[in-house]
Structure 1
Amino acid sequence: MPKLKKIKTESLRSQVYMQLKSQLMAGVWKAGEKLPSESDLCETFGVSRVTVRAAIQQLEILGLVETQHGGGNFVRDFSTINAMDTLHPLIQISENQDIITVLEYRKIIEKGTIGLVVSKITDHDLACLEDTYTRMIELSTTQDCVQQAAADHQFHYRLAQISQNPLIVKVYELINVILSSAMVDIVGLLGTEMGLRYHRQLIDALKTGDKALCEKLMEDHIEETIQGILHKTKRPLEKTLGTARP
């Protein structure tokens, strides 16, 4: 059994997911190898079976593992995926430094994107952003890191669509899996408070049509996220995860 550690705070599927993903990317388990049973993982992490299953499901989405009915969970050979698709998240989103890479890209692109949004946004667009924000608030009271990240991701994707720039939208869709995968890790590490705070300010600034303020808020939002990730990852990942927001 690899050196996985018990979750020291309230059970978080995101913590289990990130530890397992880290071990898989490090090659602890080889392609075709069967993962420890759910019971063994529950005992190792000190969490419920529901939590372990949710983490496994997220790994399935990324193409890292395959669940065989009645047979357990097996490591997929994702080396061919890497060779075929240079934008697959398994290449870039494997270590926390790569999360920073994604955030640096976002800081450049999304600052410019929201600058375009200011002159094109409609009342309907604002209503859609408000709906997404409400969804983020509702999910913030849960432990569902994956759904929390999905709502956050949807907010930013909606801004790309509002920009009405087909190239921005196309590139966003092209690297969608990379962005959404990174978002899960970010929410798992930092929680939802920062995102809620900045998204509220962004919507309000968009309502006033203040382009300079919108650009500054977006830049500040992503820079604060970068600094938060750097602060969290000064310690080993397993220890850091113990302080993640429930």
Structure 2
Amino acid sequence: MPKFVKSSLVDQIFDYLQSEILKGTWAPGEKLPSETELAASLDVSRMSLRSAIQRCCAMGLTETRVGEGTFVRDFNLRSYFTELYRLKLLGRNPNEINDMRAILQLGSVRLAMTDSISQEKIGKLEELFHQMEAAADRGDLPKFHELDSDFHRLICSLGNNELLFLIYDAIAELTDDVMHHNVEKSVAAFQGFSRIMEHHKELVESIKTCDMDRFTKAIMGSRERSISYYPNL
């Protein structure tokens, strides 16, 4: 087992635990040794070890269950960004999140239009749009939010770029949270869903006709409206 110096001891323990988890010494779902056992094997205090484990939990690497112990989580980028968002270390400015979402959608659609977009995906996009219309007509806001999230996820998959989609998926909790607020503010400002549905129709039609300028105009118009929803930042 490694020996640790006193300076930045918690950092060194955290680095060790992180390294062991990422290389698979403890598999996802597996329980870590008890604090007493692990502290003894590393020759560190339980207090220092506990601080390092708390950091692992904050980063989404592990989770501590009361009365059971600490377990390795199935780590992914989404859990990482979600924890940072939950701890208010990331995404405190809604306009920055709106900008990030806009950039990822513009990039994905630009890539898609360079090649061709399958009729199957266009059909799925149209179907989601019609389902959103139905939810809007019913005034079913929770269902509308769910469909809206699926709609924009599909847009970000059009470019067939796994890394781009992975980034969008990783920040899904940030973007979904802000999108929900955007929708609610738009419904209040325009007294209904009409403006939102016009925007989504423009996205669908511009993708169907491979009109990048029209798509860009729709995305940037939405961005400008979103900025007005958070004027005091």
- What is the distance in 2 between the residues matched to 1:117 and 1:212? 14
Q: CA deviation digits over 1:84-130, x for unaligned, max 9?
A: 245113245999x6222210212222222221222331211111111
What is the alpha-carbon distance in structure 1 between the residues aligned to residue 88 and residue 226 of structure 2?
18
The residue identity in structure 2 corresponding to 1:178 is L
The reply to whether residue 162 of structure 1 matches residue 158 of structure 2 is yes
Q: Please report how far the alpha carbon of residue 158 of structure 1 lies from its aligned counterpart in structure 2 after TM superposition.
A: 0.2
Amino acid at match of 1:152: D
Q: Which runs of 5+ in 1 are unaligned?
A: 1-78, 235-246
Aligned to 2:58: 83
Deviation at 1:220, TM superposition (A): 2.0
Alpha-carbon distance change, 143 to 98 in structure 1, aligned in 2, over 3 angstroms: farther
**RMSD of aligned C-alpha atoms?**
2.8
Q: Stretches of 4+ moved more than 6 A in 1?
A: 79-82
Pairs within 5 Å for 1:95-114: 98-114=93-109
Letter in 2 for 1:101: E
2:217 maps to what in 1?
216
Of structures 1 and 2, the larger Rg is shown by 2
For residues 128 and 56 of structure 2, the distance between their equivalents in structure 1, rounded to whole angstroms, comes to: 32
Does the aligned pair in 2 maintain the 1:99–1:182 contact within 8 Å? Answer: yes
Per-residue deviation, residues 123-152 of structure 1 (Å, max 9, x unmatched): 111111110001111111344333212211
Contact 1:93 1:182 in 2 (8 A): no
Query: Does the Cα contact within 8 Å between 1:117 and 1:159 map onto a contact in 2?
Result: no
Change (3 A) 1:117 1:212: same
Choose the corresponding residue for 1:144, options 134, 140, 145.
140
Q: Which has the higher contact order (CA 8 A, sep 6+)?
A: 1
Q: In the aligned structure 2, how far is the partner of 1:217 from the partner of 1:206? A: 11
Distance in 2, matches of 1:138 and 1:162, equals: 24
**CA-CA distance at 1:221 after TM superposition:** 2.1
Q: Matched residue of 1:141: which SS?
A: helix
The 8 Å contact of residues 186 and 196 in structure 2, kept in 1 or not, is answered as no
Q: What does 1:215-234 correspond to in 2, within 5 Å?
A: 215-227=216-228, 229-230=229-230
Quick check: 2:110–2:212 contact (8 Å CA) kept in 1? yes
Alignment of structure 1 residues 32-51 onto 2, 5 Å: none
The gaps in structure 2 that reach 5 residues or longer are 1-53, 61-79, 188-192
Partner in structure 2 of residue 190 of structure 1? 186
Q: Shift in Å at residue 164 of structure 1?
A: 0.1
Q: How far apart in 2 are the matches of 1:100 and 1:92?
A: 15
List aligned pairs for 1:17-36, cutoff 5 A: none
TM value normalised by structure 1: 0.54
Q: After TM superposition, give the deviation of residue 82 of structure 1 in Å.
A: 7.9
Tell me how far 1:162 sits from its aligned partner. 1.5
Please point out which of 177, 199, 208 is paired with 1:181: 177
- Correspondence for 2:14: none
Q: What is the aligned length?
A: 153
